[in-house]
Structure 1
Amino acid sequence: MMRIRRATYEDRQRWDDYVAGHDDGTPYQLWAWQQAVAKAYGYRHHYLVAEDGAEICGILPLIDFRIPWRGSRLISLPYCDAGGVLARDSDVVEALLEQAEQSAVCQLRSILPQRPHLANQTNKVRMVLDLPESSAALLDGMKSKLRSQIKKPQRDGLTARLGGLELVDDFYSVFAENMRDLGSPVHSRRWIDAVVETYGANCRVGTVFTPQGEVAAAGIILLHPDLVVIPWASARRQFNKMNPNMLLYWTFLSFACEHGYPRFDFGRSTPEEGTYRFKKQWGASPQPLYWYDLCADQTEKATAGHGSTSPLRHWVTSLWQKLPLPVANTLGPELRKYISL
């Protein structure tokens, strides 16, 4: 007989084994994500596990996301593209979602249409590339223009490096500057440290250096046996002519191919916008994201999926872009904690 309960720390290895063995699993659903959230921002998890006898037959990762003066809602999952249910069949999916719906407000973000009768709260897609067995085969299958863009930074003397915590300083310096330039509050350094620490061997930090040793681009990938995802990648604008971003992505893609990962997820994009076209040129295909509000009180709805195009938002973005970098890096993490995207 199936039962559903709150997962505990003692379940972490069985939880990860289930996520790693599921065809639709993602790195975000691993136990490490909630550990990083708790360590960096203090939010507690509400992870649900369904069991049939001694065997796990489904999981639903949820974070108790609290915003001052706005209350709490459960999100699966904040700060990433998708969480959602993993289960052996639709009956287990329904049982886990019914359990989640007992909460006042619950937002589900998934790569699967697990509540198709509800309105999708985002028009975003994720861009996914099926990988060949080697980086040489991947390169051979690319158009000549793309191959040239990949080789140019190497001809110009740029170099790439993969590592872990020792590269976080370099990553964060580029990441924080790029987020300010985009007009968006940056995640705290504590959050990046927490992700890299908790994911351990399932994480790689990548950096690209100019011939003078300056950090031109940097990113982070997270690993699942069937999928590599890239939650963050940034490049410094003054080095755009050197194509450091192309070398960064090629380094990550090469790593994924040579280590036997079958798919690479370039992350969330708006169809036909700049980042969408950048990812599409690598051969990635759009796959819908499904974000639903599961609300016991249907009068209260979360709207984080759409994003505002109001004049106020444009004004705030423009103002943020003008902030001195030290000011943006001080204020940004205090705000970013409360932005679930």
Structure 2
Amino acid sequence: MNTDIQARASRFNVFPATEYDQYVAGHSQATPYHSSAWLQATESAYGHTCWLITVHHNGSLCGVLPLVKVKSPIGAGSLVSLPFCDLGGVLADNAEIRERLIAEAKALARTNRIKIMETRESGAALETEQTTDALPAHTKVRMLCELPENSEALFKSYKPKLRSQIRKAQKNGLRAELLTEPDAVNLFYDVFSQNMRRLGSPVHSLQWFKDLKAAYGDHLLISVVFQGDKPVGAGIVLLGGKQACIPWASTLEEFNRLAPNMLLYWTLLSHVCDLGYTLFDFGRSTLGEGTYRFKKQWGAEPYRLVWTEYHSGEQNPTGLDTSGNGATRASRLRPVIENIWRRLPLPFANWLGPKLRRYITL
């Protein structure tokens, strides 16, 4: 290997964030999640330790790997790039730099006696025939949509049925607002926390979203759909480079007949399109399931998600499907746990959820 290449592991809070963000902004594979803002919020909201693996060549930054040491109530936890989202992983100038970053990350894991390191990266687009019988059931994919020059062209690209569904929400008296002030997080969380309890899943803390908004600033957009003065739908979009991604969106089930989700997504898509963003990341979905079909109707196409675990330094694909005995046992227990969670009073669910959610890296 080139001896002029210097690799090191640094605590996130001591590495120059400006240098890191400048490199991320100039890398073609970067996502909004790679921003230092994600690491900043992860540390401040949940107290996890964040690391940066970096490589310099002749003094210039030429590769980065952001990692979060996710604590565990039992054991040493894990190193993840990145937790609470679909993506993260290596950004490097070339394959040699990539190898150095992974090697340094393994060394960091050994030093801290952490047995599991995980990277989450995007792969190639799936061919049409690969989205049916060629892939295992429950395969997870990233749904990406290329955006045209403006929202008018985007609307014209939709099928008549989709256009009518967007208009339906408006005819039903719903209105959507794009909000930038920090207090908008409370409106989002009101909808989001109710929906997560309905789904039977522990919710992120309100502080997590407040810290994300503080860290991302104008690069975090919040859209809220109202019926009168009541929030019935809400979503968050993160911006970076020419890419926009939507990690969270929720609607209240009792209002779904009014199509708030259609107005919510259209409001965000049209806005980022007119801002000049060229790619919209709808996030992770399971092939063939409801959310996959919902995102596909907006023009999104599936891309592989390459999640790789390193157990004590040895590479092991995580396999983003639910095959295997352990997964089968978990799938059997899941409906029981979800049913119990749905019965919790909302204030209690919102208190208990974040205490568990901070350890769940998905």
- SS where residue 207 of structure 2 aligns? helix
Which of the residues 46, 55, 61 maps onto 1:50? 55
- The alpha carbon displacement at 1:171 in A equals 0.3
Instruction: Give the letter aligned to residue 241 of structure 2.
Output: P
Give the alignment partner of residue 61 of structure 1, picking from 66, 84, 94: 66
> Partners of 1:41 and 1:301 in 2: how far apart?
28
Deviation at 1:331, TM superposition (A): 1.1
Deviation per residue, 1:298-320 (Å, 9 max, x gap): 5x989695564432222101111
Aligned residue pair count: 332
TM-score by length of 2: 0.88
The amino acid that maps onto 1:28 is Y
Superposition RMSD in Å? 1.9
**Is 1:170 paired with 2:187?**
yes
Which runs of 5 or more residues in structure 1 are unaligned?
A: 114-119
Which residue, 79, 83, 86 being the options, matches 2:91? 86
2:219 corresponds in structure 1 to 202
Tell me the equivalent position of 1:116: none
Q: Any idea what the Cα deviations from partners look like across 1:128-170, whole Å, max 9, x if unmatched?
A: 0000010000000110000001111122221111123121111
Equivalent residue for 2:200, pick from 183, 190, 199: 183
Given that residues 226 and 261 in structure 1 are in contact (C-alpha distance below 8 angstroms), is that contact kept between their aligned partners in structure 2? yes
- Looking at structure 2, the residues matched to 297 and 34 of structure 1 have their Cα atoms a distance apart, in angstroms, of 24
User: Residues 191-233 of structure 1, C-alpha deviation per residue, up to 9 Å, x if partnerless?
Assistant: 11111111112111110111x2110100100001121010100
CA contact (8 A) 2:308 2:316 kept: no
Instruction: Give the whole-Å Cα distance in 1 for the aligned partners of 2:242 and 2:305.
Output: 18
For the structure 1 residues 83 and 258, does the alpha-carbon distance in structure 2 shift closer, same or farther, using more than 3 Å as the test? same
Per the alignment, residue 352 of structure 2 pairs with 331
Q: What aligned pairs does 1:286-325 form with structure 2 within 5 A after superposition?
A: 286-296=302-312, 306=321, 308=327, 309-325=330-346
Q: Contact 2:9–2:105 at 8 Å: present in 1 too?
A: no
Q: How far has the Cα of 1:10 moved from its partner?
A: 4.6
Match of 1:152 in 2: 168
Alignment correspondent of 1:15:
20
Q: Secondary structure at the match of 2:158?
A: coil
Taking only the aligned residue pairs, the percentage that are identical comes to: 44
Cα distance in 2 for residues equivalent to 1:163 and 1:54: 41
User: Is this contact kept in 1: 2:221–2:237, CA < 8 A?
Assistant: yes
The more displaced of 83-92 and 7-16 is: 7-16
> Aligned partner of 1:249: which letter?
Y
Q: 2-side partners of 1:254 and 1:26: how far apart? A: 20
Structure 2 unmatched runs, 5+? 110-114, 125-135
Could you say which residue in structure 1 is the equivalent of 2:128?
A: none
* Counterparts of 1:333 and 1:159, CA distance in 2: 30
| Secondary structure in 2 matching 1:329 | helix
Aligned equivalents of 2:264, 2:257: Cα separation in 1: 14
Whole-angstrom distance in 2 between the partners of 1:183 and 1:260: 37
Residue 117 of structure 1 aligns with which residue? none
CA contact (8 A) 1:23 1:226 kept: no
Alignment of 1:2 with 2:5, yes or no, is yes
Question: How far apart, in 2, do the equivalents of 1:183 and 1:157 lie?
Answer: 30
Distance 1:225 1:66 in 2: 31
- Report the residue type matching 1:51 in the other structure: H
In structure 1, the partner of 2:282 is: 266
User: What amino acid is the match of 1:219?
Assistant: G
Q: What's the counterpart of residue 242 of structure 2?
A: 226
Q: Residue 288 of structure 1: CA displacement?
A: 0.7
Do the aligned partners of 1:230 and 1:265 also contact (CA within 8 Å) in 2?
Answer: yes
Task: Tell me whether 1:32 sits opposite 2:37 in the alignment.
Answer: yes
Question: In the alignment, what sits opposite 1:248?
Answer: 264
Please give the alpha-carbon distance, in whole angstroms, between the structure 2 residues aligned to 1:335 and 1:302. 25
Given that 1:32 and 1:199 are in contact with CA atoms closer than 8 Å, whether structure 2 keeps it comes out as yes
Query: Structure 1 residues 306 and 190 mapped into 2: Cα distance closer, same or farther (>3 Å)?
Result: farther
Whole-Å Cα distance in 1 between the matches of residues 345 and 310 of structure 2?
Answer: 40
Q: Do the aligned partners of residues 149 and 288 (structure 1) sit closer, same or farther apart at CA in structure 2, a change above 3 Å counting? A: same
* Cα distance in 2, alignment partners of residues 284 and 171 from structure 1: 24
The match for 1:105 among 86, 92, 116 is 116
Q: TM-score, normalised by structure 1?
A: 0.93
Q: Which amino acid aligns with 1:324?
A: P
